[in-house]
Chains A and B, each alone.
Chain A
Amino acid sequence: MLRVEHLSKSFGGVRATKDVSIDFPAGSLTAIIGPNGAGKTTFFNLISGHVRPDEGRVLFDGADIVGLSSLEVVRRGMARAFQVAALFPSLTVREALTAAVVSHRRGSARVLSRFPVPEAVRRADAIMEMLGLGPKAEILSANLSHGDQKLLDIGLALAMEPKVLLLDEPTAGMGPEERWRMIGKVHDLWRATGMTVLFIEHDMDIVFRIAQAIHVLKYGAVLARGTPDEIRRNQDVIDAYLGTDHRLSETVGEA
């Protein structure tokens, strides 16, 4: 479904992504983990067309999408949610989702009909139902709780009916209990829709519990990859996460 080959990107002297090659099979649930500054978000920016890679290919559904604008990438069926929920503060939950559905159905330029269009509202309501946002339908996005804002952000991505969904830290800024609820919803969503889901996550417990495959990034390169069990036993990963990474930092020249 999605495959990246030899992806590299530098910002000035910083090599944010170094020769990353990963295959994400259709319908998989994959976690991207790594310490802060490992280049996880950059990796998402590269695949979603937001930032153009210096080298490498991104194969989506068999076609190379490098060089396409983020708009074209979305229209081909890859949607993303953001680390800091990116919402429309002055729209209610229902309005925002409906407007997103309208956009997905190429209805954004319609001036003769009235908003909200009933068919789009039905789809928006279904998304709210799926995420448990139904009771919050009439609340302004700006007034939602942090957790609900993150859910709405995912909901907006779902309105694109994506084949591949990129979730950048769906549990960022949440307490332990809320994290589990959130990731539970992501898991349910994945099972219900059969989408290919990639997510970035810091909490190792969560990752080990739900991900099928894990790719560990460090300093922009793939440090390790495998199933949760393999990653759990991987000495490099343990070092990177437990802070005894003097071996690595010597070679990279960074603390």
Chain B
Amino acid sequence: MRAGLVRDLAAALAGLGLLIALPMLFPQPALRDFLIYFFAYGLMAMSLNLLVGLTGLVSFGHAAYFATGAYAFGLLMQSGLVPIPVAALAAVGGTALIALVVGAICVRLKEIYFSFITLAFQMFIHSIIVTWVGLTGGDQGLRGGIPRPPFLGLDLNDARVLYATCAVVFVLCILAMRQVSQSPFGYTLRMIRDNPARANFLGVDVTAMKLGIFVFAASMASVGGLILALFVSGAYPEFAFWTTSGEAIFMIMLGGMKLFLGPLVGTLLLQTLNHFVTIYTEHHGLVLGTVILVIVLGLRRGLADFLFDAIQARRARRAAALAAAAPAAFAPAPLDGRTV
């Protein structure tokens, strides 16, 4: 209710404050660059988790929308016809439209069939990007740079302004996703995840709800792609390749899907690994694979979920000890890893 919204807003403000303060405390440009990558991939992982963790839809093709966001934005900016905010909104809107069409087909399928058809559509979009050389530059990517004309007094050619703008957009998107996951719609999605047949018998239009979250998640992923395009001043077909979707799934696996911010923890982990391991060895895939194996087999859940469960278990033990000390008190209900 109100209290929840206020708490989320406060958390978002605090988070934004931290993100703005970090580069001031550590002014190396490398940190800013690292964080912008974190924003871009974080939005992709977080939005994918709206499908995987919240609705139980494992999409293997989420990077398609990351890429359409990047390309649409890049192409619009290169056309020189529109200012940045309009191009951004159009890119997100365009991605939403594509997702509406693709989703209308995909969400009718269940489980592994859903996963594979999303993957198929992603490869379809990837091959359009690679083969339509005249528009997209093919496998060379969108070349010639993406201009950043100033708007509303903001000059994104200044690296600090660019960073701050990306941080604000990132936090706003996270906040929007939080609101969706805590809304009646979000709880309807939990019903669908747990038991779609029963949800249907309770008057939930399961297909429409799935389509709704599919489009929203795709839109949020496109903002991630847009941030990356803005930052690297280009767009590449790898954005739409299946490995990018795979990375988003890794991020969710590493961080955890039960806690709302779990995928961000995973993004941070994976980005850090990618960033530092590649400095020391070219076999970074091997290191990455090992870490993922250790987390998946060792913790059997994402890192954030593991820590959350551990804290909950400790609280439960302490409460049990208290109850044992004061036998008159009622034993508390068992706390276990529930979705928050």
Interface residues of chain A, those whose CB is within 8 Å of chain B, are 48, 50, 70-71, 74-75, 79-80, 82, 86-92, 95-96, 98-100, 102-104, 107-118, 120, 138-140, 143, 156, 159-160
Knowing A88-B198, A114-B5, the reply to whether A102 touches B338 (Cβ < 8 A) is: no
Contacts A118-B1, A160-B202; A89 near B183 (Cβ below 8 A): no
Least Cβ–Cβ distance between B316 and chain A, in angstroms: 13
Q: A-facing mask of B10-51, CB < 8 A → 1, else 0?
A: 000000000000000000000000000000000000000000
Partner of A91, one of B182, B187, B208: B187
Given A86-B195, A88-B190, A99-B191, verify A110-B202 contact (CB < 8 Å): no
CB pair B184–A88 under 8 Å, yes or no, is: no
Do A70 and B201 touch (CB < 8 A)? yes
B319-340 with Cβ < 8 A to chain A:
333-334, 336, 338-339
Cβ A87 vs Cβ B187 within 8 A: no
Given contacts A79-B201, A109-B209, contact A114 B185 (CB under 8 A): no
Number of A-B contacts (CB under 8 A): 117
Chain B neighbourhood of A91, CB < 8 A: 187, 190-191, 194
Proximity string of chain B (189-214) to chain A, C-beta cutoff 8 Å, 1 when within and 0 when not:
01101110111111111001100100
Are B195 and A80 in contact, CB atoms less than 8 angstroms apart? no
Which residue of the partner chain B has the closest CB to A156?
B202
Identify 15 new A-B residue pairs, CB closer than 8 A, beyond the known A86-B201, A111-B179, A138-B333. A74-B203, A75-B203, A79-B202, A86-B198, A87-B194, A87-B195, A92-B338, A99-B188, A103-B191, A114-B1, A114-B2, A114-B182, A115-B187, A139-B333, A159-B202
Q: Which residues of B contact A110 (CB under 8 A)?
A: 183-185
Whose C-beta in chain A lies nearest to the C-beta of B1? A114
> Which residues of A sit under 8 angstroms from B197, Cβ to Cβ?
86
**Are the C-beta atoms of B185 and A109 separated by less than 8 Å?**
yes
Among A71, A90, A100, A159, contact of B190 (Cβ-Cβ < 8 Å): A90
**In this assembly, does B180 line the interface, its C-beta being within 8 Å of a C-beta of chain A?**
yes
- Chain A residue with the shortest CB-CB distance to B198: A86
Asked if B153 CB lies within 8 Å of chain A CBs, one says no
The complex places the Cα of A92 from the Cα of B334 at a distance, in Å, of 12
Partner of B185, one of A50, A92, A111: A111
Indicate if the CB atoms of A99 and B187 lie closer than 8 Å: yes
Do residues A103 and B1 form an inter-chain contact, with CB atoms below 8 A?
A: no
B298 at the interface (CB under 8 A from A): no
Measured in the bound complex, the distance between the Cα atoms of B333 and A92 in whole Å is 12
Residues of chain B with a CB closer than 8 A to A90's CB: 190, 193-194, 338-339
